[in-house]
Structure 1
Amino acid sequence: MVDLEKAPGAARPGETAQQAGQGEPARRADAEGCLAVAIRIPVRIVVLVLVVPVRMVWDALVVAGRFLRDTVLRPVGRALTWLGRALFVWPLVGLWRYVLVPLAKGVGWLGHVLLVVPAAWLYRWLLTPVGNGLAWCGRGLAWCGRQVARGVGLVVTGIGFVLYWTVRVLLVLPALAVWRWVLAPLGRVLAVVGREVADALGHAWRIAGHLSLAVGRFLGTLLRWTVAEPARWAYRSVLTPVGHAVRDTVLRPLAEAGRGAGRATRQALATARLTVRQARADVRRMLFGEPAEPNPVDRREPSAVEARTLGSSTTALTKD
């Protein structure tokens, strides 16, 4: 049963803490009763069975939520933040800075001129003298009021004293007894049960986390050995050699043949264009005859005999 009496190490009336500590050895602060031991194991087993699937689902939701946050919510939130600033914050700041603040300053100055200055003058030169006169009358009435209040206070004090003891005897003392002998022991029992349930939940949550991690690793290993590794082996051992063989035996010859066909086609087209050009020239000659040849122009330099010399007066222009 739960120990509801005073701790053995506590000081009794008339004893010091040192004397009380010398009577019995001090008990551990985390000493447990039989109720805690009897409740702990079944509660932890039940909570573990209930928490394991919840923890696994929670881990899956956490992974999905992080992915959704990083890929969707964060960019959308930044865009909405910028849009909200552009649509609301900056216009409101401009309105506050350039409209409301100057308007408030103008209204404040106008109120000071129209209200504060006249009110101060009225208070200083009218209300203060009248208040001083009334204060002398305030004081006589206050003395009379204090006397009346003192008498009323004595009466109220007597009535309050009687009511205090009545309420204390009829309500406070029974409530204190119920709290000390009923609610406090029950609260200690419930505290033990709650602490054990909380510890069981913590242990179950940690164990479920380890189980979830182990299951995730097992699934990852199983997926790697059943899908990733066979696919990698098939790519390296089957598809890559087959692709190289197809490239060397089919694609490269086809490419070479295509390039040869292209070259032949270009040569054939060039020959056909040349043939068409020659046929067109022959038809033009048959219809219109040979084109007139231009007169040759002698663009050569004059010979040494015909060239102008320094020792002779005969030049190429005056020579017969």
Structure 2
Amino acid sequence: MTTGDDSPADAPIHPSNPIDLSKNRPPAPAPERAGPAWIVIPARVLALIVLVPLRLVHDLVVVTARAVRAVWNGVLRAPGWLARLIGRMLRGLGLALYRRLLAPLGRLLGLLVVRPLRWLAVVVILGLLRWFGRGTGRLARWIHLWLIAPVGRFLALVGRGLAWVLGLLLLTPLKALGRGLLWLLSLLGQGFALLVKGIGLLIGVLVILPVVLLWRYVLRPPLAALAWLGRGIWRGLAWLGRGTRSVLGALGGLLAAGWRALAAALVWSWRLVGRCLAWLVRVLIVLPARTVWRYLLAPVVAGFVGTWRLAARVLRWLWRTLVVVPARVLIVAPARWVRASVFRPIGRGVRETWRAGVREPVRAARRTMREAGRDVRLQLRRTFRGH
């Protein structure tokens, strides 16, 4: 049986043509040349020595960073997840407590306490005070119109009559008597002035004029001579004093020059001794102390300060990590939530209850009493002033 084409499989098998079952591989392609050997070999050596270790180090760093990030994310997410879970639980508990207990309790309290107290304060107490204030105002008006005003007018008329009688019986005679006394006192004053002038004239003629004449013609000439003699003696003494002062001044100048020379010598000696002592102190004390401080004490102090700062930073980090952050998460946040979700609604309810049940009725009562007192004071003022 043939396949219909002239293939070698259709040819008859002869003993002279044995069958070859071995596979003949195709010839391998010739390798492409990468470049000259003096460039390729150094490049491969450089890649093997430098790039391969760097790549291995890079892969190791990447793997380590991924592991650290995974661990760090797990460490950070666990407290966050726990805090969110606790926050949701507390929030659900607070909402349930507010919706199921506090809100119905507040509504019941408002229905049973606040509204009856408001009705009692507004209708009973405020109405009673308003009725009392209106009755008191009307009573005060009636007393003013029919009792206090007529009595005040009568007293004013009596006062005017008494004033006219007193003015006629007392003020007019007293005015006349005062005018007479004033005229008499003026006459006495004029006579006393004339008497004083006469006495002054007599004293001037009998005493002052003789004293002036005695001074001018008897006492003054000898006193002037004595004064001229005293001035001459004083001038002589002054000339003698100036000479003595000149001699003493020269002696003082010599003494001052000697003292200045001695003081300059002493100052120069003191300065020289001071400089020597300062140089000795600097060489024997200051330089050794500075050297000990710079090369022995300063490094020790710097190391101690650095160690203290490092320990302080570590302790501060541990404090923040182990105390502050857990306290904020476990204490501060729940406390804030309790304050915002529990205490504030309770405080607002108590405040509204106090305002509606006590403060507003008390204010209304005080306002009514104040208006009534103002009306009474106005009526009394009108009564006593007469208008």
TM-score by length of 2: 0.26
Q: Radius of gyration: which is bigger?
A: 2
Q: Which has the higher contact order (CA 8 A, sep 6+)?
A: 2
Q: Report the TM-score, using the length of structure 1 for normalisation.
A: 0.30
